[in-house]
Amino acid sequence: MGATTYQIILEIIHYLFFIYSIAAIGSYLVLAAISAVETVEYKRKNSFVNYKEIMSSNISPSISIIAPAYNESLNIVENVRSLLSNHYVNYDVIIVNDGSKDDSLEKLIEVYDLVQIDYLINEQIPTKPLRKGIYKSTNPAFEKLIIVDKENGGKSDALNMGLNISNSKYVACIDVDCLLLEDSLQKMIKPFLETTGRRVIAAGGVIRISNSCVVKDGKLHDVNFPKKLLEQGQILEYIRAFLLGRMAWSRLNGLLVISGAFGLFDKKIAIRVGGYDTKTVGEDMELVVRMRGHMEELKKKYKVAYIPDPLCWTEAPDNYKIFISQRNRWTRGTIETLRRHRKIGFNPKYKALGMLSYPYWFFFERLAPVIEVVGLFYFGILILFNFVRWDYSFAFITLAYLFTVFFSLIALITEELTYHQYKKKGTGFRLLRIAFLEPIVTHPFILYAAIRGNIDYYFNKKKKWGEMTRKGMTKA
C-alpha cells in the first residue's frame, strides 16, 4: 500500500510539471500570435506617418530627456552630444551627475562651456541634495543642455532629481550610455498625442544590442552581428522578448515593464505617484506597476504604449561575470516589485493588470527558474535512487529544446519581416546557429543568475541594500 501512495504522489508531481510546461508553451504561443496581429497593424498604421512634419513643429509638447550618470567620464562628452542631436524641436537634456568621483563634471564644463546658474527647484520628490549645483551652457548651440551635479543617491534618486527639475510635460528616462536614434522622441511621443478617449501614462521602446555595431559621432552607422556566442544569445533573447512578448502585452494593455534604458512618461503622473523608488533594484518595473495601480484605483482609462521600432541601442554584457550580475539584479527587481504590489495580483478590481499580467509574471517569470531548479533536484534524486526513466526524461528535454528552437525561429522570421536589422550576407547562418545553441550558451547562466538572485534576495540582506548606494548604476 505504501508503494502505491508513493506512486500516486509521484504521478501527481509529474502531471503538475507537465501541466506547467504546457501552460508555459501555450501562453508563449498565444502571446506570439497576438504580437503578429499587432505588429502587422502597427506597421500598416505607421506607413502613413510623416515624422518630418512633427519634427519641426514648435507646437509639439515639451520633453525632457533625463539621463543619470555615475562615473561615466570616459564617454560622457560623446553621449551628451548624441542626446543633443535628436530630431525633435521642443526638448531638453538633463544630465544628472550622481555624485561621480571622476572628472565627468569638469569634462562637461570644459567641452560645453557650462556655467553655474540659479535654478528654482520644485522639490516634489525628496532627493539627495545638490553638490555643486546646476549648470547651463553659454553657447547657444547647447541651449538644450542642463547638467545637475548632486550627492550620490543611486539611479532612482538621480532620476527623481531630474523629474523635479524638468519643466516639460513628458520625461524620457534613459541610461546615459544609450544611443537614441534621431527620430526616437518623435516616435515615442506619438501614442501620447494620437490616443483619444484615454490617457497614455507611459511608453516603452525596444532595446537593441549595439555590441560590434559601428557608432560614430553619437550616431549608429552600421549594424553588425557580434562574434561572441553570449552576445549573439542575448540578441536573440531581446528579439524574442520585444517582438513576440511585449508587443502582445501592449495589445492586451498589460505591459508591466518599460526598460530603464528608454521609456517616456507623463511627468505629472510619475510625480503624483512619488517618482522612482530608491529602495529597489528594479526601479523601472516598479514605477510602471505603481503608476498602473494608481490609475486603476482612480478608475481612469489609461494605457501603457509600446513602440516596436528599434530606437534605442545599448551595449550588452560581453562576459559571463557581468551578465550574471545583471540578471541577478533583474531577478531581485522582479521579486521585489511583485512582492510590493501583492495586492494587485489575482485581484479582479485591477482587471487585466491583476488577473492577467500579474499572474503571468508571477508564474512564468518569477517562478520559472525556481520550478526549473526544483525539477532538476527531483531529477537528481531520481538518479540517486536509480528511479530515473531515461527515456521519459529524454522525451521532455527534447520537447523543451525543440519548442525553444521553434520559438526562436518564429522570432527571427518576425524580425526579418519587420525590421530586418541584420542584413549582411552570412549573418543568416549565424542567426540560425544561435537559435539552436542558445539553450546551451545562455540559458544555464540565466538560470544560475536567477537562483542567485533569489538567494540574495531572501538570505543576503546586505547585498540587497548594499549594492544600491555603492554602485549607483550598471549597464542595461
Partner 1 sequence: MSDAKKIVLAEDNSIFLLLLKFRLEKEGYKILTAVDGKEAIDLIEEHSPELILTDIMMPFISGLEVISHVRNKLNMKTPIIVFSSAGQEEIVLKAFDLGATDFMSKPLSPNELVIRVKRLLR
Partner 2 sequence: MNTNYFLIDYFNESPSIIQVAWSISVVFFIIIIPLILYLKFLRGHLRKKERVTAELENDYESSLINYLYSGNEEEEISAEQQVIINQLKECIKDPFRRKILIGVLLKLKNEISGEIAESIHKLYFHTGLVNFALSRLKHEKWFVIAKGIRELKQFHVKEAHDEVIVHINHPRREVRKEMQLYMVNLFYFEGLDFLDVLETPLSEWDQIQLLEVLQRMENQNISNIKSWLNSSNDSVIIFALKLAKIYNQFEAKDELINLLHHINKKIRLESIHVLSYLNALEAKEILKNNIEERSPEEQIAFFKMMEDLYEQTDESFVVKYIHHEIFEIKVSTLKILKVLNRERFNLLKFESSEPKFLRIVNFIENN
For residue 428, the one-letter residue type is G
Binding part of the chain for partner 2, among 54-62, 99-107, 373-381, 438-446 by CB under 8 A, reads 54-62
Alpha-carbon distance of 285 to 281, in angstroms, equals 9
Alpha-carbon distance of 144 to 164, in angstroms, equals 17
221 binds partner 1, rule: CB under 8 A: yes
Q: Which is closer to partner 1, CB of 81 or CB of 430?
A: 81
15 binds partner 2, rule: CB under 8 A: yes
Taking the complex as a whole, how short is the minimal distance between the CB of residue 154 and partner 2, in angstroms?
24
Q: Which is closer to partner 2, CB of 126 or CB of 380?
A: 126
Alpha-carbon distance of 370 to 340, in angstroms, equals 19
Write out the binding residues for partner 1, residues 69-128 only, by CB under 8 A.
89
130 binds partner 2, rule: CB under 8 A: no
Q: Which is closer to partner 2, CB of 432 or CB of 437?
A: 432
Alpha-carbon distance of 323 to 230, in angstroms, equals 9
Joined together, the cell numbers standing for residue 104 give: 565627468
Taking the complex as a whole, how short is the minimal distance between the CB of residue 95 and partner 1, in angstroms?
22
CB 192: neighbour CB atoms within 10 A? 21
Burial state string for 296-313 with b = 16 or more CB within 10 A and e = fewer than 16: beeeeebbbbbbbbbbbb
299 binds, among partner 1, partner 2, none (CB under 5 to 8 A by kind): none
Q: Which is closer to partner 1, CB of 49 or CB of 298?
A: 49
Binding part of the chain for partner 1, among 60-68, 194-202, 213-221, 280-288 by CB under 8 A, reads 213-221
20 binds partner 2, rule: CB under 8 A: no
221 binds, among partner 1, partner 2, none (CB under 5 to 8 A by kind): partner 1
45 binds partner 2, rule: CB under 8 A: yes
417 binds partner 2, rule: CB under 8 A: yes
75 binds, among partner 2, partner 1, none (CB under 5 to 8 A by kind): none
Binding part of the chain for partner 2, among 122-130, 177-185, 289-297, 329-337 by CB under 8 A, reads 122-130
470 binds, among partner 2, partner 1, none (CB under 5 to 8 A by kind): none
Binding part of the chain for partner 2, among 249-257, 310-318, 374-382, 424-432 by CB under 8 A, reads 424-432
370 binds partner 1, rule: CB under 8 A: no
Pick one of 24, 25, 29, 55: the residue that binds partner 1 (CB under 8 A): 55
Residues that bind partner 2 (CB under 8 A): 14-15, 18, 44-45, 47-48, 50, 53-54, 56-57, 59-61, 118, 120, 122-124, 190, 192-197, 391-392, 395-396, 398-399, 402-403, 405-406, 409-410, 412-413, 416-417, 420, 423, 425, 428, 431-432
Residues that bind partner 1 (CB under 8 A): 55-57, 89, 141, 216-217, 221
